[in-house]
Amino acid sequence: MKSSDAFTGFFGPRTFRYGRRSYGRSAFAAALGVAVWSGAGLADEASDKARFIGGQTTAVPKAEVRSTGGESSPGGAGYRFSVANGDARVPVVVVGGEPWQMGWQVGHLLKDEIGRFVPAVVDGFKKELGLDDAELDRVWSTTAAFTDDRIEQELGGLAAGSGVALRTLQHAHCLPLLMPYSCSSIAAWGAATADGHLYQTRNLDWSLEAGAHLFPALVVYLPAGGHAHVLPTFAGFIGANCGLSASGLALSEMGDSSRKEMPYNVQAPHFTTWFRTLMYDADSLTEALDIFHRTPQTKRYHFVFGDGRTDRRAVKILSHSPEPPPRNIRIWKDNDPTDELAPAVLPQVVYQDEGRGAFGPLKEKHGTLNAEAMMDLACRIPIKGGNVLNAVFDATALRLWVTYAGTDAEAYQRPFVFLDLTTLDGDADGNPDLVEKSADTNGNGVPDFLDAPGAVSGR
Ligand SMILES: [Ca+2]
Ligand SMILES: [Ca+2]
Ligand SMILES: [Ca+2]
């Protein structure tokens, strides 16, 4: 799928007249007030040279901005710093508390980016697709009835903290429910990897015209209840297009729906919200699958769920809700002769690359796969022309590497930034964030992860 297809009429025949014309650029560029790259013509093999891999950033990044109080704060806390590699620089926001509080902290710490990006991107989509506010209200109110309350609460906090209207943020979170896109993922573990860790990739192949990659963000949640988790996302988007939880669960998605099947079912939560539910609540792959089976599904997807710490394996899921049972849900283990890609299957590996060449390198490097090899693989299989984001998770050691498209190159051509969740220590007291979390055990009114004396500076 070309990225421009993402903008072709997702409400069925009445907007199909757009055909395959490349569009979206003018409205988005105008709305964002920035030069948004078209993607066309630049994604050739020669420019692969520009890509470089690895580059570990500082082990314990210093908080650049802290938010632990102030009159407007509803509680919780957060801090912000950046991870960088070459000319790639990605803001990291670490927040803790109840969902509303965490939403407020994200909104507060990314206020500038959210204000510049979200209203503009919603305007751009509405113009390009002929959607009005009433239609987006209807979509949101329908899907919200099926959506985890914690996500809705967080969205309310995000609106209060960022100053962007709640309705605008709700509309922004309707967009992934309404449009088709395509992606890939690979998981490898145990004997397939050099150190036995579970590594999982995720390519997000979507629209470069929307400019989301110009507003990247890594958001780390330290919820008052449930597991800590991290999302490689975009400023103002709290849904998880992929993610990693502190219980070692890595989640990836690939969209399979065609434009012909529009309009899609919205009487279900979008995967980007129930991915958050899984990361909050699932202790293992087994529990993640239990929650998945209880969740109504929208349109057609593949998912890869990996567990690097408890079950220590991954599965590939086909979830095609328009099909009757049992064809609507299929789950494949590694080396599965019934896998849709069999006989191109391997032990301790599951993947879906839509035929873009992962099997050869996977077979060749089986037994020696590591983070660098997985980054290399992730950069070999994107849909060129629409590669917005690539991520590699080490779901055993709780580390991740992420690359976003830039102003002149796609994600696969750009440097990866690195984040190790286990070394985060926002108040520099020697106790990691993942250990301290958001309780207030000393009763000083500040969550433990940001409460060391001298570290508190209200903002
Ligand atoms: Ca600490
Ligand atoms: Ca405290
Ligand atoms: Ca502390």
Measuring CA to CA, which residue among 332, 322, 317, 166 is closest to residue 251? Answer: 317
Which stretches of the chain score pLDDT less than 70?
1-62, 454-459
Please check whether residue 409 lies inside any domain of the structure. yes
| CA of 431 relative to ligand 1 center, distance in Å | 4
Please check whether residue 455 lies inside any domain of the structure. no
Beta bridge partners of 183: 204
Number of C-beta neighbours around residue 260 at 10 A: 9
To the nearest 10 degrees (0 to 180), the angle between helices 99-109 and 149-162 is 30
Ligand nearest to C-alpha 75: 2
| CA of 391 relative to ligand 2 center, distance in Å | 33
| pLDDT for position 61 | 58
Q: What is the DSSP string of 155-220?
A: HHHHHHHH---HHHHHHHHHHHHHS--EEEEEEE-GGGBSSS--EEEEEEE--STT-GGGSEEEEE
Ligand nearest to C-alpha 426: 1
| pLDDT for position 205 | 87
| CA of 437 relative to ligand 3 center, distance in Å | 9
pTM, to two decimals: 0.89
| pLDDT for position 30 | 58
Domain carrying residue 153:
3-426
| pLDDT for position 12 | 28
Ligand nearest to C-alpha 76: 2
Q: How far apart are CA 98 and CA 398, in angstroms?
A: 23
Measuring CA to CA, which residue among 452, 356, 412 is closest to residue 42? Answer: 412
Looking at the 3D structure of the chain, how many domains does it have?
1
Half-sphere exposure of 241 (CA within 13 A, CB side): 32
CATH number of the domain where residue 99 is located:
3.60.60.10
Please check whether residue 442 lies inside any domain of the structure. no
Please check whether residue 446 lies inside any domain of the structure. no
| CA of 150 relative to ligand 2 center, distance in Å | 23
| CA of 65 relative to ligand 2 center, distance in Å | 18
Please check whether residue 459 lies inside any domain of the structure. no
Please check whether residue 18 lies inside any domain of the structure. yes
Please check whether residue 147 lies inside any domain of the structure. yes
Question: In the 8-state DSSP scheme, what is residue 47?
Answer: G
| CA of 246 relative to ligand 2 center, distance in Å | 21
Q: What is the DSSP string of 4-29?
A: GGGGS-TT-GGGGGGTT---SHHHHH
Half-sphere exposure of 329 (CA within 13 A, CB side): 10
Helix, strand, coil tally for the chain in percent (to 5): 35, 25, 45
For 357-376, the pLDDT digits (tens) are 999 999 999 999 999 999 99
Ligand nearest to C-alpha 429: 1
The DSSP H or E segment spanning 299 is none
| CA of 164 relative to ligand 2 center, distance in Å | 30
End-to-end, the C-alpha distance of the chain in Å comes to 45
| pLDDT for position 170 | 97
Please check whether residue 156 lies inside any domain of the structure. yes
| pLDDT for position 31 | 60
To the nearest 10 degrees (0 to 180), the angle between helices 166-178 and 149-162 is 130
